[in-house]
Chains A and B, each alone.
Chain A
Amino acid sequence: MDFKALGLKAGIEIHQQLDTAEKLFCHCPTTLRETEEHTGEFFRYLHATVSEMGEVDRAAAEEMMNRRQFHYLTYDTTCLVENDEEPPAPMNPEALEIALQVARTFEMHPVEQVHTMRKLVIDGSNTSGFQRTAMVAMGGVLPGDGEVETLCLEEEAAQRVEGSTFSLDRLGIPLVEITTSPCMHTPEAVQETAEYIGMVLRSTGKVKRGLGTIRQDVNISIKDGARVEIKGVQDLALIAEVVRREVTRQVNLLAIRDELRVRNASVGEETHDVTALFAETKSSILKRAKSILAVVLPGFAGLVGREVQPGRRLGTEISDYVKKCGLGGIFHTDELPAYGVTAEEVAALRAHLGVADEDAVILISGSKEKAACGAKQVRHRARLALEGVPEETRKMLDEGNTAYMRPLPGAARMYPETDVLPVTITGEHWAAVRVPELLSDLARRMEDELELDPAVARQAAYSEHLPLFRAAVQAGIKPNLAARTVLGTLKELSRDGVAVETIADQDVLNVLAAVEKGEVAKEAVPDLLTEVAGGKTAAEAVADHAGGVSAEELAAIVEKIVAERIKFVQEKQMRALGPLMGVVMKEVRGKVDGKIVSEALRAEISRVI
């Protein structure tokens, strides 16, 4: 695809959790919990409210079509603020400081007086029914000719446990939201920009790491298309594919629109009750339904079943709108007979409705109320198909496809958070904000100063264990040993099932210090750390491995091992050195440095061959 010719315009919003001691508007820790640790539970309903402009936000209005009871899990690390039972505390100054650091890195203009807003979100993920968010800075630069539009500080939502149950441990963790202008014109550029912004955020050393701590939303439009916001792309590697597939979708929807216009297609205004037609049906879905309704789409035949993304058709898009009514989906004549609906039933349906071959019929089944709601949604989405691409918020599916979530929200979903006083950012404050060293610069610096291999330096700089690596180097550990242990050994042990998360940083430092002092060999590090994970103190583990092996003892061990394998040694000559190294090392249990063992073994092999 020629993205430039298609007029691709893309921007991203990056949401990054901050690693602050406390949440944004209360004094709870920002610790995530296991759901089985919850200490309480309550449930609520949410109601749509009118904004300060006197209107109900369209996204909020749609969310309210299907009122649900929301359940919330509480913990001993959550409080009445998360429960929406206490007004918020003042904005967390630590979080604001990190946001300002990031703003400075992008050369942004800080807002002089920061006003916290309430953004209506009534999907249940916020107990209050809104997310608190504040614009902190605007107008920044990106490498190339990109532009950062805004930086906001906002609270994280509660995570969904299942269905309508949410967990309150995540609610209120500070997030920075960085929004770029629609300045990217290829899928690759979107991915590179996301990577760069992620790197800048990690440079502060104050962001959370790991799955789910950073989320990308992508805004995409093409010429004649519409702005579509795709939420929650967690995997950076998928961003480019998401963009490619969205462009494909918009191109296909525009082609469908053009075809519909040529055919002079329209949307039937009438909803037909066809429940009686299916009285004897074998289709289990239709059999269960109290009410089966049909909407006729003149001129749509063949196009409802047309693919817009791999495995997704216009019919799927219509079905997504219908799901908002609490229904499972639709049947359409482009895919029938199927699902237990027979060719005879389809013919009878067409005859009953008096529709022509070029017309499509959509069936909606469910309770009376839900089916009526569904029919309305079918007509709504079909009308949008005549226009082309609807403006939507969409969620990411596996492999980069997307599905409809809700209409794009308007400004009506924002109103002031009156319980939080505005925060003034003075000129002196802004001038005193420290710009963090970018990780890309740090990697280069470590390469020079610590004489590390470029790849290792980069790996260390970008690793979430950078603070431990730095502490080790600071403590006089050789950079290469520190890097190998922190970036390699720990990961390998974890892969082998060792509970490395139980090893305190100080234990790692103590083990490495023992190696530096020559108390144990560096080969013993994996064993030592395994024992620490098993419950020993670092000192105990070191003591068990220390004591050393004298040169005479080593010579005797080497002699014995070579003698036992003399045939192998004579056959392999010096090539036997490698395989025998492991055997000797096991025998000396990491008490002798590998280099010394290797020399002793080489000497012994030379002697016998």
Chain B
Amino acid sequence: MSTYATGDVVAASCRGHPVEGIYITDRDGMAVLKLKSGYNIGVDQETCTLVRRAGDQPAPAVPTVVQDETLPELAIISTGGTIASKIDYRTGAVTSQFTADDILRAVPGLTTVARYRAEMLATILSENMTPSTWQALARAVHAAVTNGAEGVIVTHGTDTMSYSASALSFMLDTPAPVVFVGSQRSADRPSSDNVMNAMCAAAAARSDLGEVAVAMHATTNDDLCAVHRGTRVRKMHTSRRDAFQSHEMAPVATVAYPSLAVDLSPEAVRRGAVEPALHADLEERCGLLYSYPGMPEEAVRVYEEFKGLVIAGTGLGHVSSECIEALREMIDAGTTVVMTSQCLHGRVCDRVYDTGRDLLAAGVVEGEDMLPETALTKLMWVLGNTADREEGRRLMATDLKGEIRRRSDYGF
């Protein structure tokens, strides 16, 4: 614990050279000072002496957000993530501690698209999301839609945004667009994709779309956002702006930037197609197992107590023959097991090879062309909403929210 507070003016020695600066924080045993030039340096704490205390710094004036009351109303529900991040100068790390109002300040252009009611549901990094957060989010979105919001924008960390979007797709029937948005490059940099993504998300949330979707950069250029169906989207790159890709289908919409012209695909579910409904129950005891050569059967048995298990199998949907007996016993004991493919592209078919036929015989459900992550959130939702095992198996193999396609189109 340092004797200095952030903002104190401190004199110190940089290997014998006298320096003076504003104390920022301790880092790896050194005192970090901000010099007059704006540079930070780490100095030996022992050499620090107090020049003067920071005193009470007036907080920087926060501009008030002025909304245009003549515009349609959208709800912004913020959960955290990079799009709503600020630097924590104590740790130097980027943290999510932004309110939805802060987003309107960070992206002033938003107020020209709509007026907003803002709700801060969480300020967490998306790796810390849980099914219970999805449930709280689904309730908040449903409330916003039933209370008259034209559309909903959900700000979210990109790492697990597609899990949340697919989970909400199953939990909600929505007549209005529910648009998830995030950013790949932090909001504190002039090149952040947060401005364009947020503007495009707002345009999509005002559009004729009527489903849960994800709006992010379509390319590395600042020219177009793609709007992806929540059940068929995946983060395909760790850092690029255009990391999110629609899977085996075209995006349901594109939004041009800076014109904000929205172009819906023929496949997009239109606004008002369904009545709002909320089915927020989930069975959290579900797992996702990535199979690999030599995977021992203990790896499968870890999930014995689970209600559901999705396997990202190899190729057409396989695990090594050695694991099949363990799967059979689990299924017999009541676990629902769904097979998807780690190929990501293409459809599972367990009728081609012996292993596949053995898996089917053991009671594994073919997950068709579902993404493994979508199959997981769907399994949680299905098992949360039906106690009947056969009904559960039937629902897993049935398209509910665009997660399964009857035909494998050529060209995706």
| Chain A residues within CB distance 8 Å of chain B | 42-50, 52-55, 60, 69, 80, 83-87, 109-115, 117-120, 122, 127-130, 133-135, 138-139, 150, 152, 410-416, 418, 422, 424, 430
Of the residues B16, B38, B42, contact of A414 by C-beta under 8 Å = B38
B18 to chain A, nearest CB (A): 8
Mark out the residues of chain B between 218 and 251 whose CB falls within 8 Å of any chain A CB in the assembled complex: 219-223, 238-241
> When the two chains form their complex, are residues A418 and B14 in contact, meaning their CB atoms are under 8 A apart?
no
Mark contacts of B89-123 with chain A using CB atoms, 8 A cut-off: 1 yes-contact digit, 0 otherwise. 10011100000000000000000000000000000
Q: B8 an interface residue at 8 Å Cβ cutoff?
A: no
Per-position binary interface string of chain B over residues 80-95, scored 1 when its CB falls under 8 Å from any chain A CB and 0 otherwise: 0000000101001110
Contacts of A416 in B (CB 8 A): 40, 87, 89, 92
Total A-B contacts with CB atoms under 8 angstroms apart: 140
Q: Which B residue sits closest to A69, measured CB to CB?
A: B222
B185 in contact (CB, < 8 A): yes
Residues of A within 8 A of B188 (CB): 49-50, 415
Contact A415 B87 (CB under 8 A): yes
Of the candidates A80, A84, A119, A150, the one whose C-beta lies within 8 Å of that of B191 is A84
Which B residues touch A430, using CB under 8 A?
15
Q: Which 6 A-B pairs have the closest CB atoms?
A: A113-B42, A129-B190, A414-B38, A54-B60, A411-B38, A109-B17
Q: How far, in whole Å, are A113 and B17 apart by their CA atoms in the complex? A: 14
CA distance A9 to B185 in the complex (A): 42
Can you report 6 A-B residue pairs in the complex whose CB atoms are below 8 A from each other? A44-B191, A52-B89, A112-B30, A112-B44, A113-B30, A413-B38
CA distance A114 to B28 in the complex (A): 12
CA distance A114 to B32 in the complex (A): 10
Chain B's closest residue to A179 (CB) is B37
Binary A-proximity of B178-191 (CB < 8 A = 1, otherwise 0)? 00000011111111
CA distance A412 to B34 in the complex (A): 11
B190's partner among A48, A114, A152, A410 (CB-CB below 8 A) is A48
Give the contacting residue for A45; candidates B27, B35, B89, B222; CB below 8 A: B222
Given pairs A117-B39, A135-B35, 20 additional interface contacts (CB within 8 A) = A44-B222, A45-B222, A49-B192, A52-B89, A55-B60, A85-B239, A87-B239, A109-B16, A110-B15, A111-B14, A111-B41, A112-B41, A122-B190, A127-B191, A139-B14, A139-B17, A411-B38, A412-B38, A424-B30, A430-B15
- In the complex, the answer to whether B17 meets A138 with C-beta atoms within 8 Å is yes
In the complex, are the beta carbons of A138 and B14 less than 8 A apart? yes
Inter-chain CA distance A152–B240, complex, in Å, is 30
Knowing A112-B14, A418-B93, say if A85 contacts B36 (CB, 8 Å). Answer: no
Complex-state Cα separation, A128 to B43, whole angstroms: 29
Known contacts A47-B195, A113-B27, A127-B191; is A422 also within 8 Å of B87 by CB? no
Q: With a CB–CB cut-off of 8 A, which chain A residues contact B219?
A: 42
Q: Looking at the complex, which one of B37, B239, B258 makes contact with A86 (CB distance below 8 Å)?
A: B239
A84 touching B185 by the CB < 8 A rule? yes
Q: Flag whether B19 is at the interface (Cβ < 8 A).
A: yes
Give the dominant DSSP class at A's interface. Answer: mixed
Cβ A52 vs Cβ B87 within 8 A: yes
Bound state CA distance, A60 and B189, in angstroms?
A: 12
- CB nearest neighbor in B for A116: B40
> What's the nearest-Cβ distance from chain A to residue B235, in Å?
14
Instruction: Report yes or no: B190 in contact with A47, Cβ–Cβ below 8 A.
Output: yes
Once bound together, how far apart are the Cα atoms of A414 and B34, in whole Å?
A: 10
Residues of chain B lying within 8 A (CB to CB) of residue A52:
87, 89
Task: Tell which of A113, A120, A127 touches B32, judged by Cβ atoms closer than 8 Å.
Answer: A113
Assembly CA distance A119 to B37 (angstroms): 11
Residue B404 at the chain A interface, CB threshold 8 Å: no
Using a CB–CB cutoff of 8 Å, the interface residues on chain B facing chain A are: 14-17, 19, 27-28, 30, 32, 34-44, 59-60, 87, 89, 92-94, 184-192, 195-196, 219-223, 238-241, 258
In angstroms, Cα B191 to Cα A414, docked, is: 15
> Which of A52, A69, A80 has the most chain B CB atoms closer than 10 A to its own CB?
A52
> Could you tell me if A138 and B93 are in contact, using CB atoms closer than 8 angstroms?
no
Q: Known: A49-B189, A416-B87. Is A115-B15 also a contact (CB below 8 A)?
A: no
Give complex CA distance A85, B183 in Å: 11
Q: Which residues of B contact A127 (CB under 8 A)?
A: 191
Chain B residue with Cβ nearest A84 = B191
Q: Which residues of A lie under 8 Å from residue B196 when comparing CB positions?
A: 45
Q: What is the CA–CA distance of A50 and B87 in the complex, to the nearest angstrom?
A: 11
Asked if B190 and A422 make an inter-chain contact with CB atoms under 8 angstroms apart, the answer reads: no
Contact indicator A80/B239 (Cβ below 8 Å)? yes
Instruction: Judge whether B41 and A114 touch: CB under 8 Å.
Output: yes
Interface pair A113/B28, CB less than 8 Å apart? yes
**Which chain A positions have C-beta within 8 A of B16?**
109
Query: Which chain A residue has the least Cβ–Cβ distance from B240?
Result: A85
User: What residues on A are CB-neighbors of B189 within 8 Å?
Assistant: 49, 84, 118, 128-130
> Is the Cβ of A43 less than 8 Å from the Cβ of B222?
yes
Nearest A-chain residue to B242, judged by Cβ:
A85
Q: How many Å from the CB of A371 to the closest CB on chain B? A: 23
Q: Which residues of A contact B258 (CB under 8 A)?
A: 45
A54–B191 CA distance with the chains assembled, in angstroms: 18
With CB as the reference atom, state the residue of chain B lying closest to A120.
B190
Instruction: Please give, as numbers and ranges, the residues of chain B lying within 8 Å of A415 by CB-CB distance.
Output: 87, 188
Considering the complex, give the chain A residue whose CB is closest to the CB of B44: A112
Contacts of A135 in B (CB 8 A): 35, 37, 39, 41
Cα-based distance from A150 to B32 in the complex (angstroms): 17
B5 to chain A, nearest CB (A): 16
Taking CB as reference atom, which chain B residue is nearest A44?
Answer: B222
A115:B38 contact, CB within 8 angstroms: no
What's the Cα separation between A46 and B30 when bound, in Å? 34
Q: How far is the CA of A134 from the CA of B185 in the complex (A)?
A: 21
**In whole angstroms, how far apart are the Cα atoms of A85 and B239 in the complex?**
6
For the complex, give the distance between the alpha carbons of A87 and B237 in Å. Answer: 13
> Which residue of chain A is the closest to B88 with respect to CB atoms?
A418
Of the listed residues B44, B59, B189, the one surrounded by the most CB atoms of chain A closer than 10 A to its CB is B189
* CB-based contact A113/B38 at 8 Å: no
Query: Bound state CA distance, A44 and B44, in angstroms?
Result: 42
Give the chain B neighbours of A122 by CB distance below 8 A.
190
Q: Given A43-B223, A109-B14: A115 and B191 within 8 A (CB)?
A: no
- Least CB distance from B210 to A in Å reads 31
A55 to B239, CA, bound (A): 28
**Are the C-beta atoms of B39 and A49 separated by less than 8 Å?**
no
Q: Which residues on the A side are within 8 Å of B38 (C-beta)?
A: 117, 119, 410-414
CB pair B191 A128 closer than 8 Å: yes
Kindly report which residue of chain A lies nearest to residue B91, judged by CB atoms.
A418
In the complex, what residues of A have CB within 8 A of residue B185's CB? Answer: 84-85, 128
* CA–CA, A49 and B87, complex, Å: 12
List the A side residues contacting B92 at CB < 8 Å: 416, 418
Q: Give the docked Cα–Cα distance between A424 and B221 (Å).
A: 37
Q: Which residue of A lies closest to B18 (CB)?
A: A139
Pair B220/A115 contact, Cβ less than 8 Å? no
Q: CA A422 – CA B35 in complex, angstroms?
A: 16
CB < 8 Å neighbour of A150 from B37, B40, B59, B195: B37
Interchain CA distance A422-B25 in the complex, whole Å: 13
Per the bound structure, the CA–CA distance linking A46 and B188 in Å amounts to: 12
Residues of B within 8 A of A128 (CB): 185, 189-191
Q: Of all chain B residues, which has the CB nearest A87? A: B239
Report the bound CA distance from A34 to B191 in whole Å: 26
